Structure 1
């Protein structure tokens, strides 16, 4: 099955003495759960999937998430941002620019 949108949210948890931050400690699990609630309430379960992911290795920008097929990465996402991302990006195909991570192309 191919989803129209596939949401991956980092829930990686590091050791408490780790130098880098941890998306899992910064609400990653709560963010995934909120997306799943919205998918369910909008009856999009067969079209949109949200799931947990491991580290994207850009932890300093976390919590990190990415939406495919567009490949749009978001950083510093909070549970309060989920509804905006869902409405604007998932339902209306417009990335939320204030949270979007831009990468330098080589």
Structure 2
């Protein structure tokens, strides 16, 4: 919840994509080992091509959801997604970033029954 005297949002949406990389023999693995860096670049390029200047795409260090990775979180809503393909990224871009909906099948913390 925002306060009435908060400044306006600088970005409508702020997307943080885990690009953390651990050593290859680390049992937790890492989002970067699972392709998050290339998928982030794809999302960033598509966002720029579409002219979505009110959306910011950022790399993040470990978001502490390694077993679900690669992961992203979108603020201000705080919606988490797990994704693995360019098609997943494109669906999140169109459904969430452009249209304001949710991609329930990719949500990490889906509401019951979704």
Q: Distance in 2 between matches of 1:10 and 1:102?
A: 17
List gaps (5 residues or longer) in structure 1: none
Matched, 1:78 2:97: no
Equivalent of 1:67 in 74, 80, 87: 74
Q: Which consecutive aligned stretches of 4+ in structure 1 deviate over 2 angstroms post-superposition?
A: 76-80
Which residue of structure 1 aligns with residue 6 of structure 2? none
Q: Distance in 2 between matches of 1:62 and 1:21?
A: 9
Q: Distance in 1 between matches of 2:85 and 2:15?
A: 15
- Output the aligned Cα RMSD: 1.7
Q: Distance in 1 between matches of 2:73 and 2:106?
A: 11
Which residue of structure 1 aligns with residue 108 of structure 2? 101
Q: Distance in 2 between matches of 1:98 and 1:72?
A: 13
Matched, 1:21 2:29: yes
> How many equivalent pairs are there?
103
TM-score for the superposition, normalised by structure 2: 0.83
Equivalent of 1:38 in 36, 46, 63: 46
Which residue of structure 1 aligns with residue 95 of structure 2? 88
List gaps (5 residues or longer) in structure 2: 1-8
